[in-house]
Structure formats: structure tokens, C-alpha cells
Amino acid sequence: MWFNQAKCDIYMGTGAGTKLLKEIGNAQCSVKISSPYLSPKMVDELVWLHKKGIKVTLITSDKFDSRSYRQEKSILPLVVQNRHLDEEANLVRKKWFLTQRILMTGSVALALILLILTIASYNSIYILGLGIAFLLFLCSRYARRKTKHIKIYSYTYSSLFPFKVFVAPDSYQINDMFIHGKIYIIDGHTAYLGSLNFTESGTKYNYETRIRVTDTEAVRKIEEEFDSLYDHPGLAFFGIEEWGRSIYTEPINQSSSELRVTFS
């Protein structure tokens, strides 16, 4: 993209993101951000905007940020885990759980009865029946293992709002281009360009450079470039399912304390 003679404000120094953050916080309809590095607190601001009804779009990369956190820490709030229950498998698991409880209760009850009979009658013959109680106990342990290994949950993932994490060239040698440019577009009529990343250090503390553009035609072209970059057909990015599996655990079922043995 090339645009000549755009009128803009220029700022150099620390606190380069002060006005930027204020305008992002006051956005009325949309915010678009491209920044290779993020910090969790800044992403929380985007989540807050999304909950207010602001349309948020984000471009970033899988690079480490300045504090050596993986981007997972920042991306986590943007990835929604959707858990799906297999009703048929869950019914089978409940039956095994009920069987385990019956067998365990039966083995304990039988063992107690046999001990009481042995003590009351002074006849050790009842002790032989403990073998049956022990067999019931072993069967209950088998049933318990079955409940632990039956998979009743599957998972899919969705994004809180549109975002893409492009693969950095030095990570997997897939993309030749690293998305290093920082672009901020607020409500389609104000754009910021410069060196500051969407991090606390970049927006508040580092010595950074930035320009603020309100020229209608310039902002339009900047937004077109952003949209083109977001939909770039030649750049690999991490899919939402891949992010979900790397961020979340995926238990195959619930613990026994959570299981309710009810049949409809």
C-alpha cells in the first residue's frame, strides 16, 4: 500500500499509547488491531470492548512477547471451549457406575455379616464366605475402571471475536513474511501506525514512535490493507481448534463425585 500527503499527528517518546488507549476505550462500533506482540491485560481490554458490543478484530503472531510468555497466555480469553455430551455413552457409564456401587456395597455388607456370624456362633466356617465378598470387591473395582475410561465428552472450539495468529517464519519455516507492522483502526475513521505493540510496555513505558491519522481516504486505505492482511491466502495461521487443544484440557468424563446416577 502507498498513500501520499496524508495529514497526521506525530508522537515520539514514552506513553505513546496514552491517546490510543483512550480512543480504543471510547470506540463506538469497531476496533481493528494488528500487533505481533500482546499482553494479557491489553487483551482483557478487547474482551471488555467485545462485551460492550464493539466489533473487535485482531491480528497477531505466535512470537514470544517481551516477557517471554507464549501467546497462549494472552490468547486464552479469546478461545471458547465447547463441551459436547454423548448421551448414549453417558448412559452406559452411569450403568457401570451403578453396578460398581451395588457390588461394592454388597461386598462390604456380606463381609460384615459373615464376621458377625463368625463372632456370634464361634464357628469359623463363615470365614470361607469372605472369598465371595472379595470376588464382589474385585468385580466392583473392574466396574470402577470401566467408568473411568468411558469417553462421554468431545470438544470443539470457537473464538470470542475474530482473530488470527499467523505463523512466524522462524517458528515452523512455513511463512516467509513476519507480520511486524502495528496497525490500530478505531471506528473506521481514526488510525494509528507506529512502533508500539499492544502491550503494557509498548503503550505506556517504552520509547516508541506513532502517528495518528484521521484523513478519510488514508484511513480507508489502511483499513483495506488490514482486511487484506487478515484474509491473506498465502499466510499460514494457527486454527482455532489447534489453539483450543493447546490451551485447554479435555477430560473424557466427569469425576465420580460429579456423576449422578439417574435414568430417564
Report the CATH number at residue 215: 3.30.870.10
182 in a structural domain: yes
- Report if residue 252 sits inside a domain: no
> Are 69 and 185 part of one and the same domain?
yes
- Tell me, yes or no, whether 75 and 185 share the same domain: yes
- What is the extent of the structural domain holding 138? 87-151
Give residue 169's pLDDT band: very low, low, confident or very high (50, 70, 90).
confident
Domain check: are 73 and 30 in the same one?
Answer: yes
The pLDDT of residue 135: 92
Considering the domain architecture, whether residues 49 and 144 belong to the same structural domain is answered as no
Verify that 140 and 165 share a domain, yes or no: no
Residue with cell 481490554: 45
Give how many domains the chain has, as a whole number.
2
Residue 42 sits in the same domain as residue 169: yes
Q: Which helix (H) or strand (E) holds 210?
A: strand 208-213
- Do 108 and 165 share a domain, yes or no? no
The overall average pLDDT reported for the chain is 88
Q: Radius of gyration (Cα) for the chain, nearest Å?
A: 30
Q: 83-87, 105-109, 189-193, 254-258: lowest mean pLDDT where?
A: 254-258
One DSSP character per residue, 57-113 reads EEEEES---TT---THHHHGGGEEEEEEE-HHHHHHHHHHHHHHHHHHHHHHHHHHH
Q: Do both 191 and 165 map to the same domain? A: yes
Look at residue 65 in the predicted model and tell me its pLDDT. 42
Give the confidence band of 211 by pLDDT, cuts at 50, 70, 90. very high
* 207/239 same-domain check: yes
102 shares a domain with 174: no
Q: Do 63 and 72 touch, CB atoms closer than 8 A?
A: no
- Per residue in 12-28, pLDDT (tens digit) is 999 999 999 999 999 99
Residue 218 maps to a domain: yes
Domain boundary among 123, 151, 179: 151
Render pLDDT for 75-130 as a digit per residue (tens, 0 to 9): 999 999 999 999 999 999 999 999 999 999 999 999 899 888 888 887 777 777 88
- Residue 71 falls inside a structural domain: yes
Whether residue 163 is found in the same domain as residue 243: yes
- Residue 63, phi then psi, degrees to nearest 5: -65, 160
Residue 146 and residue 173 in one domain = no
Confidence of residue 71 (pLDDT cuts 50, 70, 90): confident
State residue 59 phi and psi, 5-degree precision: -120, 130
Query: Which pLDDT belongs to residue 66?
Result: 42
- Position 184 scores a pLDDT of 98
